[in-house]
Structures are given as C-alpha cells and as structure tokens.
Amino acid sequence: MDKTIPTVNPFDKLLNLMCFTPLGLLSLLVLLVLPMVPPFNQEYLIRWLISAAFIASLAIAFDFTAGLINIVNFGYCAIMGLGGYTSAILAERFGLTPWLGILAGGVVAGVLGLAIGMITLRLRGIFAACLAWFFGLALMGLATKMVWLTRGPMGMRVDRLFETQSNVPYYYLLLIIMVAIYIICKWVTRTRMGLAFKAIGQNMEAARTSGINPVFYRVSNFVLSCALGGVLGGFYAHYYGILTPDMMHTSKTVEVLAVAYIGGRGSLWGGAVIAFPFIFAMELIRSSLSNLPGLNLLLYGLLLIVVMIYYPGGFAQFFDTYFRKTKNKMMHYFLNGAYGSAK
C-alpha cells in the first residue's frame, strides 16, 4: 500500500527551522508590538519588559545545562557577570566597540566555562553544582577586591550601546538575542550531540555503556551555556551603564533557576514564556511592598515547592498535558506546528 508523504509548505518549513510553532510565532509578534500599545509604551514598563526578556534569555541558556545534562550551575550569574566586566573593561580601557566587547565577553565566559567544566564536571550531581557555585563566589570576590580594575562596590561606569534615553532599542535588541539563544539551543538539541545530552541527563551510566563520553559532552554543553551567559552579561553592562559585583550574587542565579524550573526544566521555551508574567508580578510586588526586602526570594521558594509537588515538569508539562493533545486539527496545528501535527 502506497504511503503518501505529506507536503509541508515553505512557511511551516521556516517555522520548523526557527524551532517555532504558530503559537510561538504569534507570541513573539505580541512581544514585538507590546511597546507600541498603551500602557506598555511607558518607559518604566518597557524597562520591566527588558528585565523579563533578560531573565527569559538567561533561563533558556541556564536550562540548556540544568535541563539537558542535569547539572545546576549555581555560579551562572557570576559567569554572566564575567562577560559583562570583560566587555566593559575592553570598552573603557582599550576603546573596543561595545558590539565586539559583547562577543568578547561571550568568548571569555566560554573559556572560563571550559576550565570550570574540566574540573567540576568529572564529579556528579550536587558535588558538581557546589563546585560551580564556589567558582562563582570566587569570581564575585575577585570583582569586589580588584578595585584597580573593576572599581569594586563603587561601580564601574560603562558606555551604553545607544545614544538615547529611550529603552525601546534595547528591548528589540534583547528580543533578537533571546530568539537567537533559543534557536541555537534548540538546533543543538536536534543534533546527535543533543541526543547525547539528553541520554546523559536521563542515565549517565547507560549513556556511557552506549559509547557516549559523558565528560566531553557535559563540558561541551557547559561551555556553550556559559558563552551565551557571557553575551548576555555584555548586554547587561552596556544597557545599565554601570557594573557592581552584586550582579554576580547567587540570589540572581536563584531567580533564573526559579524561572527555568517553573517554566519546565528541559523544555527551553517554558522559562522564556513564564519569565514575562513572572517578572512583571515580582516587579509589582517589589514596588508595592518595598518595605519587605527579600520577599521575592521567599515567593520563588514557595512557587518552586508547589511546582515540584504538583507539576515537576513545570508549565511545559501542564501545557503539554492539557493543551497540546487536543483532537481539533486546527488547534493541534496552531499549538504544535505542521511537523508536530504529522507525528
């Protein structure tokens, strides 16, 4: 019996290449027009959108390691900060354009990720996570003590990317970076290397028995995640225009971890989706209850407990369970795309 192969139109092929579904593309279009729609066209709300997009980007890159190879990098924001300081120092001390400085920050963070990975990723589970955390604390300590280079707690002033007081150009640039990070990570997961990552994350001994070298693949994953964090650190430096060691604090990593886990560990897209309503809610709480510092961290913990009990797979598991499996063909296409519909 002949089996006809379903034809896929160019639009669906492009969506698949971008690793988007029609719903994902629509969500991206909403984010693109949001700063033009009242009340989101106000500068303070655009700053909130930038904060959300920044956390979403970090959550994707963080989840690439935590969700795929099952290693939680508690020093992630310290490595992100290294990228920021690298870009800032190259721009302020050597006159390098910030655009190249951001890329250099990614390279330096990736190289440090290689060094840390070679040391820590021979260990397992909590031991690797703790050692990565100690490296992060050491980086923050160096940024604090090397006042001659970083100005320490006094803060290092950095030139901004755009000569404008408007936040809109930064928002659209960050959206481009966020989408690029997502596509890169998704592309990797579709390769043989991505399959190796998933195998290691599920059962490292079984993966080793299958001929996979866990250290090589774990380090490769770690390096890419750190490099992406370094690029985001460079953006951070040239957006805020000032750097202090506080940006490297473990609490910043906890914020990223909370978003990634609530979004759905290993999904990549879950953290990006959750980041926007989540950060907006946290900003409202901070502005309304400014006399209760640290309340956001308490809420992160409570939300994580609820998610781990009822939906260990986070929002991604909830969405897959109750929405993706619809029997309506049009809705199934909208939620899963042509390639998902063909499965």
Q: What is the pLDDT of residues 277-311, one digit of tens each?
A: 999 988 888 877 767 766 777 877 888 888 888 88
Q: Is the pLDDT of residue 62 over 90?
A: yes
pLDDT, the chain, mean: 90
Question: Residues 188-219: pLDDT tens digits?
Answer: 999 999 999 999 998 888 888 888 999 999 99
What is the model's pLDDT at position 1?
43
Which positions ≥6 away from 306 have C-beta within 8 Å?
A: none
Q: What are phi and psi of 210, to 5 degrees?
A: -80, 0
Task: Identify the band that residue 7 occupies on the pLDDT scale cut at 50, 70 and 90.
Answer: low
Is the distance from CB of 257 to CB of 129 less than 8 angstroms?
A: no
∠ CA 59-65-70, rounded to 5°:
120
* Each residue's pLDDT tens digit, 264-275: 999 999 999 999
Average pLDDT for 231-250: 94
Closest to 64 (Cα-Cα) out of 242, 273, 260, 323: 260
Cα 311 from chain centre: 21
Q: Give dist(CA 155, CA 147) in Å, integer.
A: 9
- In the predicted model, is pLDDT for residue 263 greater than 50? yes
User: Rounded distance, CA 178 to CA 56, Å?
Assistant: 7
Distance CA 276, CA 107 (A): 28
Distance CA 54, CA 250 (A): 17
Query: pLDDT digits over 79-100, tens only?
Result: 999 999 999 999 998 989 999 9
Specify the pTM: 0.93
Give the Cβ contact number of residue 28 at 10 Å: 16
CB 296 within 8 A of CB 286: yes
C-alpha span between 262 and 328 (Å, rounded): 28
Q: For residue 245, say if its preceding peptide bond is cis, omega within 30 degrees of 0.
A: no
How far apart are alpha carbons 213 and 201 in whole angstroms? 13
Element (H, E) at 242: strand 242-243
Tell me the per-residue pLDDT of 144-183, one tens digit each, with 9 for 90 and over.
999 999 999 999 999 999 988 899 999 999 999 999 999 9
